[in-house]
Structure 1
Amino acid sequence: MIMCITSQGAHMNIEVLFPTLVGISKADDAIIYAINDEVLRRKEDLNRLLSHSWGDNVLSSFNNEKNIFALAGLLHLRKFIEESVLQFVHMTRRDKDWKIDHQYTQSWINVTKKFGYQERHNHDRNVEGVPISGVYYFSTNQHDGELAIFPCDTQYKQFENYVIEPEVGKLVLFRSDVFHRVGPNLTDTDRVSFSFNYLLNK
């Protein structure tokens, strides 16, 4: 709540009712090492799943496998993400009894090459429950395309997009209906990330 005094001397309370909640965390060095090790050991299997899902400059496993976490045995990555998703929901909702409904889980790897980007979109699937989406940065030089989060009310111009810079080990979480965009990779280095959609139910 924000309290202010109007030009007439009266008190006015301004309630922030519908914020866009975004969770940003960073895996510690031990978790990053474990995730890197298991991903690199499965590199050939992951590469076989890649195709041009979103233009010529973005390779993804999404067209060939809708839940790469279940297929590839990425146990440390999956554990870190799912524990973070549960923590995010428990911290941002008054009712705490939410659990992941794994039959709705989607997860995929993205390899964004030079000039690759993704236009403004969301991951809304029109399902009951609490849908959470996000991204984990596996490999990035931190200059290969930022993540822009858009305000929920696009007609209200007071707030600008919120820009998140990529970083190895960084995890970003948000509701699946939140619009976002991935800026172009203008470097000569591929960015590798894992994206996902989870659904939580009681």
Structure 2
Amino acid sequence: MIMCIISEGAHMNIEVLFPTLVGISKADDDTIYAINDEVLRRKEDLNRLLGHSWGDNVLSSFNNEKNIFALAGLQHLRKFIEDSVLQFVHMTRRDKDWKIDHQYTQSWINVTKKFGYQERHNHDRNVEGVPISGVYYFSTNQHDGELAIFPCDMQYKQFENYVIEPEVGKLVLFRSDVFHRVGPNLTDTDRVSFSFNYLLNK
């Protein structure tokens, strides 16, 4: 976030301007169960799409399929995420009439093995509209690598990153131009997550 300091003699006001907006929600038990059921039913199909997109310790479908929600028929997962994306945009903008433009939708599965991690990056695609990215945690032991969100303006990199711990059913949303990284999985179990990019237009 950007800190603005306005001094009036001995008095100083500090205003927080242009914050980095992050949406964090948790699916209810019924939704988690429905998502787990449909993902496990398509497990073989999903596994066939995995490849070494980001090093030896992170498997992903990204290079083989750009919209795994549609291909694998993950309707419960897709609905939960898309409902949440719309809620996030409607809650954080004054103009409310934004809709998902599905021709720009991307979604993929990640399997992060021991020592797997992802460097600082963003998902900016330089497109008009409101681009939203995020992650849904399908399987995690909660100690297999945190998500760190960086300040949007790197002039303010002295501020600490915002760290989000993984949790089954947790959904994290942010604008696609927000830089983030995934810490290393130092445990002996794989973390499975779904990542996605959406674009909203009027």
| Secondary structure class of the residue paired with 1:16 | strand
Structure 1 residues 64 and 11, CA gap change in structure 2 (3 angstroms): same
| Secondary structure class of the residue paired with 1:80 | helix
| Secondary structure class of the residue paired with 1:7 | strand
Structure 1 residues 4 and 38, CA gap change in structure 2 (3 angstroms): closer
Structure 1 residues 197 and 6, CA gap change in structure 2 (3 angstroms): closer
For each residue in 1:82-134, what CA deviation from the matched residue of structure 2 results, as whole angstroms up to 9, or x when unmatched?
Answer: 00000000000000000000000000000000000000000000000000000
> Are the equivalent residues in 1 in contact too, given 2:7–2:13 (CA < 8 A)?
no
Which segments of 5 or more consecutive residues in structure 2 lack a partner in the other structure? none
Moved more, 139-148 or 12-21: 12-21
> Are the equivalent residues in 1 in contact too, given 2:121–2:181 (CA < 8 A)?
yes
1:156 Cα deviation (Å)?
1.6
Structure 1 residues 93 and 38, CA gap change in structure 2 (3 angstroms): same
CA distance in 1 between partners of 2:103 and 2:169 (Å) = 26
The 4+ residue runs of structure 1 with deviation greater than 4 A are 1-13
| Secondary structure class of the residue paired with 2:160 | coil
1:17 Cα deviation (Å)?
2.2
Structure 1 residues 114 and 97, CA gap change in structure 2 (3 angstroms): same
1:2 Cα deviation (Å)?
12
1:155 Cα deviation (Å)?
1.9
Q: Percent identity?
A: 96
The number of aligned residues is 202
Structure 1 residues 141 and 104, CA gap change in structure 2 (3 angstroms): same
CA RMSD of aligned residues (A): 2.2
Moved more, 182-191 or 150-159: 150-159
1:12 Cα deviation (Å)?
4.6
1:159 Cα deviation (Å)?
1.8
Aligned to 1:19: 19
- Provide the TM-score with structure 2 as the length reference: 0.95
